[in-house]
Amino acid sequence: MNLKEIFNKYERPAESRQLACALTFCGGFVDAYTYIQRGHTLSAGQTGNIIFFSSALADHNIAGMINRASTFIAFSLGLLVVGLFHKYVKGYYWRVFCLFPILAICLIVGFLPRSVPNYYIVPAIAFGLAIQNASFSKIEGMGYNNAFTTGNLKKSVVAWSAFFFGEDKSQHTAAVNYMLLVISFGVGAIVSAILQKFLVLKTIWIAVILLALINMMYLNALKNNKKVDMLK
């Protein structure tokens, strides 16, 4: 199978297993980057940010409070933008444009020195990740998250439990899909942490390259599917 065919195994490219795992890998990659390099703040994991905000509040850490609160708000705004975009912009390729914000933001962030306050940088990344997360929200018809992994872990364990203990064989696909998503997120975070030892702040550019490749392959899959639909 070549790169042009990788997202065409499922009849809806936006819901393919390969695309979901690739985007989730990038989600883990970027989240690890912001935590390690940009003020120990998670760009997508808002549960963690609420805890970090509480800790900063208790310590009277104003900068930490601003960083976590602004990230939470930016992520929420990103989700809102996708809802509005999908409502008013109709088209076959609308999801392609939803990866542009995170691409542009990560590209710019790689140029910014550590002296730039993190409450400018992390919220911007969170905004882009929220758009990515809300735009690509299904894997083979099942809901998932590509920017954080707690929900995917829960769904994987529940599906495996139903498969093994409840003897519900229909849960096998869900169990495998969600397990692969958890692994993809973890591997993305690990690879990011290792690369940061060498590339430091520039590590974010690796995510730019990966997301650009993913978007190009997704666009190609859409074009191929459209041609098939026209021939039916």
Q: List, for residues 2-32, the tens digit of each pLDDT value.
A: 444 554 454 589 999 999 999 999 999 999 9
Half-sphere exposure of 114 (CA within 13 A, CB side): 7
- Segment 65-88, tens digit of pLDDT: 999 999 999 999 999 999 888 777
Using CA atoms, how far residue 164 sits from 172, 175, 205, 218, in Å, is 9, 10, 42, 34
Type of residue numbered 24 = T
Q: For residue 226, what pLDDT is reported? A: 72
Is 190 a residue whose pLDDT tops 80? Answer: yes
Q: Pick the range with the lowest mean pLDDT from 179-188, 199-208, 220-229.
A: 220-229
What pTM did the predictor assign? 0.92
Q: What is the CATH number of the domain that holds 63?
A: 1.20.1250
* CA dihedral of residues 87, 49, 114, 34 (deg, nearest 10): -70
Rounded distance, CA 197 to CA 40, Å? 16
Provide the pLDDT for residue 91: 80
| pLDDT > 90: percent of the chain | 82
Q: Are 219 and 93 in contact (CB under 8 A)?
A: yes
Distance CA 26, CA 208 (A): 9
Query: What's residue 86's pLDDT?
Result: 79
Secondary structure class of 112 (helix, strand, coil): coil
pLDDT at 227: 58
Look over the chain and give the mean of its residue pLDDT values, rounded to a whole number.
Answer: 91
The DSSP symbol for 107 reads H
- Tokens for 187? 């591997």
Query: What is d(CA 180, CA 25) in angstroms, rounded to the nearest whole number?
Result: 10
Domain that holds residue 127: 3-231
More confident residue, 138 or 11: 138
pLDDT at 230 over 90: no
Q: How many structural domains does the chain have?
A: 1
CB 38 within 8 A of CB 121: yes
